[in-house]
Amino acid sequence: MNVVVCVKQIPDPAAPQSFDSSNYLDRSGKLILDEADTYGVEMGLQLVDKAGTGEVTVVSMGSGSELAGVRNALAMGAAKAIIVSDETLRGTDALGTAKVLAAVIRRVNPDLVLAATESSDGYTGTTPVQLAELLGFPSITFAKSVTINGTNVEVNRQTESGYDEVSAPLPALVTVTAGVVEPRYASFKGIMAAKSKPVEVLSVADLGLASEVGPAGARQEIIAVERAESRQAGEKYVDEGDGAAKIVAFLESIKVL
Amino acid sequence: MALSSIWVVAEPSNGAFTSASLELLSHARSYGAAVSAITWGDNSSDLAAQAGDYGAATLYDVGTLNGALPGAAVASAIAALIAKGETPDVILIPSSYDGRDIAGRLSARLDRPVLTNVTGLVDDGGLVTEHPAFGGTQIVKARFSGEGPGIIVVRAKSFGAESGGGASATVVAAPSGDTGATGTATIVQSHIEERSGPKLEEAAVVVSGGRGLGEADKYALIEEAAKLLNGAPGASRAIVDAGWVPYSQQVGQTGKTVKPTVYIACGISGATQHMVGMKGSKNIVAINKDADAPIFQIADLGIVGDVHKVLPALIEALKTRG
């Protein structure tokens, strides 16, 4: 059971965010492993563990040389990482990202590819399915649970009204929702071990994808960033036992009650 | 260049189109272009009347999927239509579980870019898309370059759904594209989780809980308050990630967009990720113990207090009123 988990290193979502002069998200600060990806890493580790054979490979791409987030996934227990690190990746769109990831994943030839439903910075939410199409894999998105049954992957997939049991033959791609498993914390031993785990670094040229990435490959442009109309703060009270009454009065004033 | 042809992926649900699909059809109509809808399912041709009523002249019917997830089948049918010479300027897709699958598959098949999380569209010699950023405090405007149809995934509630009174759409069977292994994900069984009360996206009142509730059991207070107000319970991403409530109840960038008459945020600090999903509410009430919580910057009524005291008191007051 060989599993590839796609991960993204992102600016800390808890820190203030801004656009740079090209209207791209400013990624010049420290980058961390997207928390949304820790669920995929954990799921991959559990599935490999259950199968008793195989390993988890972490795949990532970015325009910088930052590795801390990928090391974090290795510290959790992934066996190795392949990252595409190249300045020309700046401004690459979701489809360009999928093309890069597909080129890397074809080298690994996994049974299963896992990803988050969407990243916590760009939240485009289409890269995993674009990737599945490029790989020729079936995909099941929004997984609430994932199990391997023989040569199939079986997923409980979130729906508007509940969930569907969905089955697909391997190799396949699955996107996992947060909360699908409880991600482990990297142990001290894991963190030490991660330092010596193999991290292969590739360039866009290595993959022969130079014309597919960056702003030219994206075939879309940001033409403006504008301030949205802002909402004004209303009245604020410190609760002195009368908070609920104030809410009831407000609901009456807007005729909800 | 004026828009001449707009395609809308219209998602079926229980014998009708979803409200997000009707919103897109209604908006597509406003450009004066030819509007076509694409749908699928067991009795999809029965939807021709509704498609026409909301502005589509043509309904491309992919037909039954025999349990397959729609993503690969619908994307390949659209690609096959385009390969036959149809040339939509743009393909609008609702931002839903299946809509996003279709968009991703179609983008890779056509080798065309996709713009997602769109909340506004403006015709400015080609469509300009509007995307909320940083919790909706800023709007990013973007557009496609190059040949071929652009794919746009639009968030629910971005436009109103209004019937246009048009005649029934002409049903055209869509050619089935070749899906190969990509179309092999199959629904074995569907489970409906019974929920009483209105749907989260349609409720006039939404009561949402966040990390400030402290523990999973306390979410029952949110459900009770929502029920008493004939509303729907919602949640912040933090407690969905923590596994307290299912993803379907998440309000925010990565969840649902809601625009109720009143949104009551309980123990939610107001991360940008959450605010973008609820700042369009007509009225916002916030209960939070931290007086500096960002949620108060957009709340019409802010109560700085302990949600474990204010919420039970509110429930009691609502019960007393009967």
Mean pLDDT over A143-159 rounds to 96
Cβ contact B264:B208 at 8 Å = yes
Tokens found for residue B155: 């968030």
Bridge partners, A113 (sequence order): A4, A173
Retrieve residue B202's tokens.
Answer: 């349609």
- For the domain spanning B200-321, the CATH number is 3.40.50.1220
Question: What residue segments make up the domains of chain B, in order of their start?
Answer: 5-184, 200-321
Distance CA B196, CA B232 (A): 9
The pLDDT tens digits for B158-167 are 999 999 999 9
Q: What confidence category does residue B195 fall into, taking pLDDT thresholds of 50, 70 and 90? A: confident
> Can you list the positions of beta strands (E) in B42-137?
58-61, 90-94, 114-118, 120-123, 127-133
Dihedral of alpha carbons B61, B64, B70, B71, sign: negative
Confidence of residue A201 (pLDDT cuts 50, 70, 90): very high
Q: What is the pLDDT of residue A178?
A: 83
Please report where in the chains the tokens 């563990």 appear, as a residue: A49
* A59 torsion bin: left (phi>0), alpha (psi -120 to 50), beta (else): beta
- Strand-strand pairing, A162-169 and A152-158: antiparallel
pLDDT at B236: 95
Q: Of the candidates A93, A233, A245, which has its C-beta nearest B297's C-beta?
A: A233
Structure tokens belonging to residue A122: 């760009």
Distance of CA B69 to the CA centre of its chain: 18
pLDDT digits (tens, 9 = 90+) for B67-119: 999 999 999 999 999 999 999 999 999 999 999 999 999 999 999 999 999 99
Q: How is A87-98 classified by DSSP, letter by letter?
A: GGGTT--HHHHH
Smallest Cβ–Cβ distance between B310 and the set A235, A244, A250 belongs to A244
DSSP letter, residue B256: B
Q: How far apart are CA B26 and CA B37, in angstroms?
A: 11
- Record: contact A138-B104, CB cut-off 8 A: no
Residues 6+ apart with CB under 8 A from B85: none
> What is the pLDDT at residue A22?
84
Q: For chain A, what are the domain ranges? A: 2-217
- Please give the average per-residue pLDDT across B121-139, as a whole number: 89
Q: Do domains B5-184 and B200-321 have the same CATH topology?
A: yes
Average pLDDT over residues A196-214: 95
Tell me which residue of B192, B240, B19, B233 sits closest to A161, measured CA to CA: B192
pLDDT of residue A41: 98
A40 neighbors A183 (Cβ within 8 angstroms): no
List of E strands, B193-246: 205-209, 232-235
Query: Are A168 and A150 contacting, i.e. CB atoms less than 8 angstroms apart?
Result: no
* Cβ pair A158, A144 in contact under 8 A: yes
Mean pLDDT of B211-237: 96
Burial class of residue A105 (count of CB atoms within 10 Å of its CB; 0-12, 13-18, 19+): buried
CB contact under 8 A, B109 and A220: no
pLDDT of B322 > 80? The answer is no
Give the other-Cβ count within 10 Å of B137's Cβ.
18
The answer to whether the beta carbons of residues A33 and A9 sit under 8 Å apart is: yes
Number of C-beta neighbours around residue B160 at 10 A? 9
Q: Which of the four pLDDT bands, split at 50, 70 and 90, describes residue B176? A: confident
Q: Hey, what are B40's tokens?
A: 């699928």
Q: What H or E segment, with its residue span, contains residue A71?
A: helix A68-76
- Whether B239 and B183 have beta carbons less than 8 Å apart is answered as no
Measured in angstroms, the CA of B274 and the nearest CA of chain A are apart by 12
Structure tokens at A138: 């079936």
Contacts of B143 in chain A (CB under 8 A): 220-221, 223
Mutation target to probe the B interface, by most B beta carbons within 10 A, among A182, A219, A222 is: A219
Residue of A nearest to B140 (CA): A225
8 A C-beta contact, residue B87 and residue B149: yes
Strands A172-176 and A152-158, by their bridges, are: unpaired
Q: Are B248 and A158 in contact (CB < 8 Å)?
A: yes
Residues of B in contact with A182 (CB under 8 A): 243
C-alpha distances out from residue B13 to A88, A159, B18, B21, B55, Å: 43, 12, 6, 10, 19
Q: Any residues with CB less than 8 A from the CB of A149 and at least 6 apart, and which? A: A167
Mutate to test the interface with B, among A105, A111, A170, A256 (most CBs of B within 10 A): A256
Q: Which residues of A touch B90 (CB under 8 A)?
A: none
User: Whole-prediction pTM value?
Assistant: 0.93
Lowest mean pLDDT segment, chosen from A44-58, A243-257, B135-149: B135-149
SS3 state at A51: helix
Q: What's the pLDDT at B1? A: 57
Q: Can you say how many angstroms the Cα of residue A86 is from the centroid of all Cα atoms in its chain?
A: 19
pLDDT of A27 above 60: yes
Secondary element (H or E) of residue A60: strand A56-62
Spatial neighbors of A102 by CB under 8 A, at least 6 apart, are A131, A134, A135
Among left, alpha and beta (phi > 0; psi -120 to 50; other), residue A221 is beta
Which CATH homologous superfamily contains domain B5-184? HUPs (3.40.50.620)
CA torsion sign for B214, A44, A125, B187 is negative
Give the tens place of pLDDT for each residue, B197-209.
899 988 999 999 9
Helix (H) or strand (E) segment spanning residue A3: strand A3-6
Angle of CA points A29, A34, A39, to nearest 5°? 165
- Return the SS3 of B272: helix
In eight-state DSSP terms, residue B73 is H
Residue B45: what residue type?
A: S
Mean pLDDT calculated for residue range B228-241: 93
State whether A94 and B185 contact (CB < 8 Å): no
Angle (CA) B189-A39-A36 rounded to 5° is 110
| Residue B315 pLDDT | 97
Give how far Cα B285 sits from Cα of A237, B183, B228, B238, Å.
11, 46, 16, 19
Cα B180 to chain centroid, rounded: 29
What CATH class is the domain A2-217? alpha beta
Task: Tell me which residue has tokens 């396949």.
Answer: A172
Give the three-state DSSP class for A155: strand
